[in-house]
Structure 1
Amino acid sequence: MNSLIYCCPATKSPLKKEGQAFVTESGVSYGILSSAAGNDIPVFISEDQLAGGDVISSAMYTKDDAEESYDNFLSWLFSTFEQNEQEFRLDLIGRLGINPDHKVLVTGCGLGDDLKYLYPILREKGELYAQDLSGLMVAAASRRMAEIYPDSKNLHLSVSNASALPFPDGYFDAAYHFGGINLFSDIPSAIAEMARVTKVGGRVLIGDEGVAPWLKDKEFGKIAIRNNALWASDAPLQYVPEYSKDVKLSWVLGNCFYIVDFTVSDRLPFMNIDLVHKGARGGSMRTRYFGQLEGVDPELKRRVQEASARTGKSASQWVEDALRLQLDISK
């Protein structure tokens, strides 16, 4: 494993492996998960650093029966919606456009239910990274993957907070999360971090409980939400980074889970804000937004409109010409 891929989640400074720790140049040290036999799984978070929904999640995952309960829930979930789990997960993974030589990140990996479908795509040439804030879940995911793929050398796990990922900018070709983000203490940062560590042109996919809007106030939706209050959650569209493109929103599993996926970009969509409008008002998007002046008397505004009409100019052009004349400014 190339430990230099990891960086300090707080400062983003590089790390190096020293004994049983990952250390920054300034001496900040991160330990290794003791319960993960045979694997160097770095731990980038401690219980006292958790807040909000992360505390709830951590408490759920540290119970003695957490692993069994998690499995039981997933079995119930896919049976309830009569959905083949393998087909479902492969469909979501397919939306990422992954190639065999890609580097892929899974956040909130839980017991690794998606890893076992991602790994066969990447096992020869690619890299698969996964993280979760629960050491118990990460250790279990490591164990389960080792049972299925004993030679999984390019699978790397960490215990970390998805809102402060221990990876450099633009390292991954795709980032994936399904199930759990509704409970994150800082959802905006978690989505921003997935976008930060994904290359320009790479795809990010996020999904969790959330009944579709047209069903929420119907009996179907009310039944779902009464069973699990998290199903009342809304898709976090407002947190999609502004530098994104090809944003898609869909619902799966009986329209009770939202899926948001987008392509990471380094620029806003193209929009010519200098194209001048034809007509009486005139002006451009730029002048209408950045060039607003103080309000004038309504009668004076009417007279400006009449004067501009007589000259055949738009009101915007007439006002600009009048101001230039008053200020003795040439074009």
Structure 2
Amino acid sequence: MRDLVYCCPITKQPLRKEGDAFLTESGTSYKLLSSAAGNDIPVFISADQLTGGDVISNAMYAKDDAEESYDNFLSWLFLTFDQDEREFRLGLIERLGVKPDYKVLVTGCGLGDDLKYLYPILREQGELYAQDLSDLMVAAASRRMTEMFQNSENLHLSVSNASALPFPDGYFDAAYHFGGINLFSDIPSAIDEMARVTKVGGRVLIGDEGVAPWLKNKEFGKVAIRNIALWASDPPLQYIPEYSRDVNLSWVLGNCFYIIDFTVSCGLPYMNIDLVHKGARGGSMRTRYFGQLEGVDPNLKARVQEASAGAGKSASQWIEDALRLQLDSSK
């Protein structure tokens, strides 16, 4: 395993391995657990550091029957919507455009239900990293992947918080999350972190429970939400980084789960805010936004419109000329 891929989730300092721990240059230590495949599993967070929804999730995962309950729910889910799980998950992965040499991150991996479909694509040339806040879930995912794939050298698991990922900027070609983000204690940071660790041009996909708005107040939606309250959740579109492009929003599984996917960008879309409008009002996007002046008497505004029209100018140009003339004459 390439130790230096991981970094301190707080300071982003590089790590080095010493014995059964990862260390930062400043001395912060993160212990390592042994996985079922023999790989080290770094632990970047402990239960006493969790807050909000993360506490609820961790408590659910700590129950004796957590694995069975998790499996039962997924079985019920896909039967309820008459959806083949393999086809469904591969369909989501296809949206990322994953290639065999990609580096892919899965956040909130749970028992690894998506890993078993991603890993065959990546295990020869690529790298698959996955994290969850529950050490029990990560251990179970490791065990299950080892049972399914004898050699899982290119699979790297960690116990960490999705809101403070232990990876450097722009390392991954794609980042993926399905199921769980509604309960994250810090949803904005979790989305920001997925974008941060994904390179410019890479894709990010996020999905979770949330009945489509056109169904939420219909009987169909009410039945779904009465069954599982989290299905009333709205897609967290307001937290998509402003430096994003090709943003898509869709609903799947009976329109009861939202999917958001977007491309990481390094800047805002192109927009020429200095292009002058033709017509009576005139001005540009820049002047209309940044150049607003104090309000004037409505009758005076009407006189400006008449005067500018008589002068063959836009109101914006006439006002600018009048202000310049007044300012120049007052020097």
Q: TM-score range by the shorter chain?
A: over 0.9
Kept after mapping to 2: 8 A contact 1:167/1:197: yes
Q: What corresponds to 2:96 in structure 1? A: 96
Kept after mapping to 1: 8 A contact 2:35/2:41: no
Secondary structure of the structure 1 residue equivalent to 2:33? coil
Mean Cα deviation higher: 37-46 or 194-203: 37-46
CA deviations on 1:136-182 (whole Å, 9 max, x unpaired) are 00000001001111111010000000000000000000000000000
Secondary structure of the structure 2 residue equivalent to 1:33? strand
Q: What corresponds to 1:71 in structure 2? A: 71
> Using the alignment, how far apart are the partners of 2:282 and 2:225 within structure 1?
51
Q: What corresponds to 1:154 in structure 2? A: 154
Superposed displacement of residue 220, structure 1 = 0.6
Secondary structure of the structure 1 residue equivalent to 2:241? coil
Q: What corresponds to 1:143 in structure 2? A: 143
Q: What corresponds to 2:199 in structure 1? A: 199
Superposed displacement of residue 35, structure 1 = 6.9
1:229 aligns with 2:232: no
Over aligned residue pairs, what C-alpha RMSD do you find? 1.0
Kept after mapping to 1: 8 A contact 2:130/2:158: yes
Could you state the TM-score of these two structures normalised by the residue count of structure 2?
0.98
Q: What corresponds to 1:238 in structure 2? A: 238
How many residues get paired?
Answer: 329
Superposed displacement of residue 323, structure 1 = 1.1
Superposed displacement of residue 39, structure 1 = 2.3
Flag structure 1 segments of 5+ consecutive residues without an equivalent.
none
One-letter identity of the residue aligned with 2:226: R
Superposed displacement of residue 325, structure 1 = 1.2
Q: What corresponds to 1:250 in structure 2? A: 250
Q: What corresponds to 2:60 in structure 1? A: 60
CA deviations on 1:100-152 (whole Å, 9 max, x unpaired) are 00000000000000000000100110000000000000000001001111111
Change (3 A) 1:18 1:31: same
> Using the alignment, how far apart are the partners of 1:74 and 1:122 within structure 2?
25
CA deviations on 1:48-100 (whole Å, 9 max, x unpaired) are 11000000000000111101110111011111111100000000000000110
One-letter identity of the residue aligned with 2:187: I
Kept after mapping to 2: 8 A contact 1:33/1:135: no
Secondary structure of the structure 2 residue equivalent to 1:279? coil
> Using the alignment, how far apart are the partners of 2:177 and 2:88 within structure 1?
14
Kept after mapping to 1: 8 A contact 2:36/2:146: no
Superposed displacement of residue 37, structure 1 = 6.7
Return structure 1 stretches of 4+ with deviation > 4 angstroms.
Answer: 34-37
Change (3 A) 1:10 1:190: same
Using the aligned pairs only, state the percent identity.
Answer: 85
Could you state the TM-score of these two structures normalised by the residue count of structure 1?
0.98
1:13 aligns with 2:25: no
Q: What corresponds to 1:182 in structure 2? A: 182
> Using the alignment, how far apart are the partners of 1:286 and 1:6 within structure 2?
43
One-letter identity of the residue aligned with 2:293: L
One-letter identity of the residue aligned with 1:322: A
Mean Cα deviation higher: 22-31 or 295-304: 295-304
1:1-331 matches, cutoff 5 A: 1-33=1-33, 38-328=38-328
Secondary structure of the structure 2 residue equivalent to 1:299? helix
Kept after mapping to 2: 8 A contact 1:198/1:264: yes
> Using the alignment, how far apart are the partners of 1:184 and 1:120 within structure 2?
29
> Using the alignment, how far apart are the partners of 2:81 and 2:281 within structure 1?
55
Kept after mapping to 2: 8 A contact 1:123/1:154: yes
> Using the alignment, how far apart are the partners of 1:273 and 1:26 within structure 2?
47
> Using the alignment, how far apart are the partners of 1:42 and 1:151 within structure 2?
19
Kept after mapping to 1: 8 A contact 2:37/2:152: no
> Using the alignment, how far apart are the partners of 1:297 and 1:250 within structure 2?
48
Superposed displacement of residue 36, structure 1 = 5.2
One-letter identity of the residue aligned with 1:54: D
